[in-house]
Structure 1
Amino acid sequence: MDWNDFRLILAISRTGSLKGAAKELGNDHSTIFRWLNGLEARFRVQLFERNGGVYVPTDAGDRMLLAAERMEAEALALDRDIAGRDARLSGNLRITCSESLAYRILNDLLAGFRSRHEGITVELLVDNRQLDLLRREADIAIRATRPVEGDLFGRQIAETAWALYASPRYLADRDRFIGGSFEGHRFIGWDTSAVAAAAKWLTETVPNDRIVYRSSSLINQMMAVKAGIGMALLPCYLGDPETDIESIAVPEAALTRELWLITHRDLRNTARVRAFFDVVGQALTARRQLLEGRSRNRAAL
């Protein structure tokens, strides 16, 4: 058997469709369809049940999937082991972080990192999802969550605070006091499928009829605040530097999160990973006041 056959089984199983597998493997749908049919014909067994376009592994498919996962795990472990021995301050470094952190802070930090280590090429994956460091989807993650997987290594940088923000235009004809019923106020929220802690807080705290605008992007939510559509819950590092919006309440304690630099344990001694932890970790720590919501005077709130 060819390793690519196992990659096909992994891709179809993980995405549940030929279209998803084609995207993951960089092929078109028809190629994946022929590839799977040829594999099943060769073994004279059906590997997937087709239920309304959703592909579910059969018993034979599950058996092949288990083998494929073991092979992938060994290949990834070997890849990390070799990369972990790399003492060169050169090569590619894949970083992942949220959209808001990339927008507000990270580009300045990466400019400083590149000026010190010009041989390292940085690839920034801006994604609010948690990419899988175990599968080398990224080398380093900057996350607002403590690493729980035993194979991950992390360093806590700071805490991140969240508060409600509004524009002077919005507040011009409204009471600044936010009552328990939020009478007379409008809110900007997340899309209904969001699972972020801030989205959950809004759902549990603010009546649904008070949320008049939704967006999956925090940057877009901030721009909606500037436009006067309503108030939004934003990380303080995103909202505080803006001069045309203001926080109308102290940071919401329940939404405070830890900010971590995270990598796989096998990669922590790689020269370029160590350099990133040192340079960017120190630069993030220097911005702790901004991250923790202490850069703006809130004495009047």
Structure 2
Amino acid sequence: MDWNSFRLILAISRTGSLKGAAKTLGHDHSTIFRWLNTLEATFQVQLFERSAGTYRPTDAGERMLLAAERMEEEALALDRDITGRDARLSGNLRITCSESLAYRLLNDLLVEFRARHDGISIELLVDNRQLDLLRREADIAIRATRPAEGDLFGRRLADTAWALYASPAYLAGKPTPVAPGFAGHSFIGWDTAATAAAATWLTDMVPGAAIVYRSSSLINQMMAVKAGIGLALLPCYLGDPEADLVRVAGPEGALTRELWLITHRDLRNTARVRAFFDVVGRGLVARRDLLEGKG
């Protein structure tokens, strides 16, 4: 057996399908299907139970999965250890943050970062999911949550405040928005599967019939407010700078979150990671009033 066999087991187990494994490993579905069949034929054992298109490990598959996870962790630990010793201000940094932070704040800060450290290239993963820093899905994350895993290192930068926004054209001739219920007003909300605190707040505070438009994108929600569809709950750093939006309520204290810059402990002394913490971290702290809805 080689490492690719274990990677195959990991990918199928984590995605639950051959299609998901193919995407993870960068191959087509037929190749993954052929590899799995070859592996099972070699050991003369079934590694996955197939039911309604979902693949679940058998006992033999679970045994191989545990071994694969141990091997992966050792490989990742070695990678972090070697990378953590890197004193060069060059190479690649994989950064992850939310769509709204990338849109409003990060590009301006990256201009300064690149001016100071032009030997470092940036790969930005704009994703509202929390990518796994332990598995090196990213090197650095900018998150609105305190790091919980013991192997992560973080720097608290500021709080992030949320408020309700509308366009002046939408508000013309309408009653003043008053909580709870905000009677007489339409709302722009999240997609029905969203679990974000802002989505929960809207569900608790606003009748379902008042949410007339939904989107999984905060940028799209902001543009819908500009178009006059209704009110939307936005981070203050996103809504306040828009000249054609007005804040009509808030900030909502229950939605305030801490903003953190996070990396793995093994990487915190890598020169390019330290440089990013210095330039981008300092730049975000300098924008604290905007992030906290005070500016």
Deviations 1:3-49 (A, max 9, x none): 00000000000000000000000000000000000000000000000
Write the distance in 1 (CA, Å) between the matches of 2:181 and 2:224. Answer: 22
Write the distance in 2 (CA, Å) between the matches of 1:179 and 1:109. Answer: 37
Match in the other structure for 1:144: 144
Match in the other structure for 1:265: 265
SS at match of 1:146: coil
Deviations 1:68-103 (A, max 9, x none): 000000000000000000000000001000000000
SS at match of 2:249: coil
Match in the other structure for 1:204: 204
* Residues 162, 236 of structure 2: 8 Å contact kept: yes
Match in the other structure for 1:18: 18
Match in the other structure for 2:30: 30
Match in the other structure for 2:234: 234
What is the number of equivalent residue pairs in this alignment?
295
Write the distance in 1 (CA, Å) between the matches of 2:240 and 2:121. Answer: 31
Match in the other structure for 1:298: none
5 Å matches for 1:1-12? 1-12=1-12
* Residues 181, 205 of structure 2: 8 Å contact kept: no
Unaligned segments of structure 2, at least 5 residues: none
Q: TM-score, normalised by structure 2?
A: 0.99
5 Å matches for 1:247-262? 247-262=247-262
Write the distance in 2 (CA, Å) between the matches of 1:232 and 1:181. Answer: 14
Percent same amino acid among aligned pairs?
80
Alignment RMSD (CA, Å): 0.6
Letter in 2 for 1:18: L
5 Å matches for 1:59-138? 59-138=59-138
Match in the other structure for 1:299: none
* Residues 177, 185 of structure 2: 8 Å contact kept: no
Match in the other structure for 2:172: 172
1:181 to partner: Cα distance: 2.8
1:152 to partner: Cα distance: 0.1
1:203 to partner: Cα distance: 1.1
Letter in 2 for 1:177: P
Q: TM-score, normalised by structure 1?
A: 0.97
1:177 to partner: Cα distance: 3.3
Match in the other structure for 2:55: 55
Match in the other structure for 1:244: 244
1:250 to partner: Cα distance: 2.3
Superposition misfits of 4+ residues, deviation over 6 angstroms: none
Letter in 2 for 1:180: P
Write the distance in 2 (CA, Å) between the matches of 1:181 and 1:101. Answer: 29
Match in the other structure for 1:185: 185
Unaligned segments of structure 1, at least 5 residues: 296-301
1:180 to partner: Cα distance: 2.2
